[in-house]
Amino acid sequence: MPAIAKVTKEMIIEAAFEIAKEMGAENINARTVSQKLGCSTQPVLYHFKTIEDVRIAAHIKASEFHIDYVTSLSGKYERPMLEVGMRHIQFAVEEKNLFRFLFHSNYYTGVSLSDWLTGENFGSLFPILKKQANVDQRQAYSIFSQIFLVTHGIASLLANNAMVYDEAYCINTLSNAYFGTMHLIAEGDLS
């Protein structure tokens, strides 16, 4: 008789992540995770005190997945920051459940928008933006925050509604936000 495979904490996190991706985070519970793993609920409750701890771990994994997704640049678009914005929108279209889990689940409680935008979530993008726009760190943050807020608005609408994704419209809108912000920086009107 073969040995029973040991269920690890990482396996539980992966299963919860897959449940969030396929069915929505509201479906993460001890029963669905154990079914996904083909085991009893005992290993889930052994590795995590509460099912909320499983959700938090799955949220962290989803956040890492999102960052990898939006920063895996292919060169499809003329500017790297345009591609980052378009990939965020495409993530919302292709991964609706994960998008909702990440941005509509209140796991960022107590974090300021400024800290969230400049922290480990998107901090790796600032060197790209500084080079692309030939700006300093503060200006790069200003550009990024303006573009991200426009991008995220579009992404949220697409993730939460049965709307038609219009790539050309999104490219035009993000380009306008970028060049408008660059103009304000050049004029000294954006801090």
> Cβ(37)–Cβ(8) under 8 Å?
no
Q: Of 108, 105, 100, 107, whose CA–CA distance to 158 is shortest? A: 100
Do 183 and 117 have their domain in common? yes
Q: Any idea what the Cα angle at residue 82 is, between residues 182 and 133, rounded to 5°?
A: 35
Q: Looking at the structure, tell me whether residues 103 and 124 fall in a common domain.
A: yes
Residue 50's pLDDT is 96
Task: Provide the sign of the torsion angle of the four alpha carbons 167, 173, 179, 185, taken in this order.
Answer: negative
Q: What is the pLDDT along the chain (191 residues), one digit of tens a residue?
A: 454 569 999 999 999 999 999 999 999 999 999 999 999 999 999 999 999 999 999 999 999 999 999 988 888 888 888 899 999 999 999 999 999 999 999 888 888 888 877 777 677 788 888 888 888 888 888 888 888 899 999 999 999 998 999 999 999 999 999 899 888 888 877 65
| Residues 84 and 156 both lie in one domain | yes
Identify whether the C-beta of residue 31 lies closer than 8 Å to the C-beta of residue 39. Answer: no
Residues 120 and 32 in one domain: no
Do 29 and 44 have their domain in common?
Answer: yes
Regarding whether 151 and 136 lie in a shared domain, the answer is: yes
pTM attached to this predicted model: 0.88
Name the amino acid, one letter, at 137.
Q
Please state the domain count of the chain. 2
Residues 55 and 136 in one domain: no
Question: Rounded to whole angstroms, how far apart are CA atoms 133 and 128?
Answer: 9
Residues 42 and 79 in one domain: no
Question: What long-range pairs does 34-40 form, CB within 8 A, spacing at least 24?
Answer: 37/7, 37/11, 37/12, 39/7
CATH of the domain at 3: 1.10.357.10
- Of 47, 71, 95, the domain-final residue: 71
Judgement on whether residues 43 and 85 belong to the same structural domain of the protein = no
Same domain, 56 and 80: no
Domain end marker among 71, 93, 116? 71
pLDDT given at position 191: 59
**Are 67 and 81 within one domain?**
no
101 and 56 inside one domain: no
What pLDDT is recorded for position 3? 46
User: Last residue of some domain: 40, 71, 102?
Assistant: 71
What integer pLDDT is reported at residue 114 of this predicted model? 81
Domain that holds residue 169: 75-191
